[in-house]
A = this chain, B = another copy of it.
């Protein structure tokens, strides 16, 4: 395990709580226990490099916790169920801010916007494929995938503002039904 890989997890909560512009090198130095110069030894691109490393690290965690269950060979409803478990873990029951959302505005948007978009699109596409596999028509599958991710993102915001994880837990609990429910008309 390289040194960077031991440092990155310590960078994560800082960026996650304060955003890209709200995070300073001093905060990162304190969080890692390293001097600012030492951080530059490991991340020659400085703050931007650390944020990039954190994004990749998180993309990996996300892929493992959320996407991988969707790509295995279980039945669709079990895949979704496993994704929900992964989501609860990944977002720490709603207490974690979403990195994609955090990195999608301000200065971070111009730096990481394209990467963020790709990550979100990957999630959307993976989810959509599972719904199609479950027999839902393609246009509906796309709409429902978007609606699901919308709900999760919105839930994370409500949790943050209201300081109450209930909205997130409800959103996760309702996800399978929302994704699979037969249309009314």
What is A's interface to B at a CB cutoff of 8 Å?
17-19, 21-22, 97-98, 100-102, 104-107, 109, 113, 116-117, 120-121, 143, 146-147, 149-155, 157-158, 160-163, 167, 170-171, 181, 184
Contact = CB atoms under 8 A, between A and B. Distances in A.
B117 A17 contact: no
Given A17-B106, A105-B19, A100 B146 contact: no
29 contacts: A18-B105, A18-B106, A18-B107, A19-B19, A19-B21, A19-B22, A19-B105, A97-B105, A98-B157, A100-B161, A101-B157, A104-B157, A109-B160, A116-B161, A117-B162, A146-B170, A149-B154, A149-B158, A150-B150, A150-B157, A150-B158, A150-B171, A151-B151, A151-B154, A152-B154, A153-B154, A153-B157, A154-B154, A154-B157
| Nearest 5 A/B pairs, CB to CB | A154-B154, A150-B154, A22-B106, A153-B154, A21-B22
Contacts of A97: 105
Contact of A184 (B98, B155, B158, B181): B181
- What DSSP secondary structure best describes chain A's contact surface? helix
B105 A17 contact: yes
A58 B19 CA distance: 23
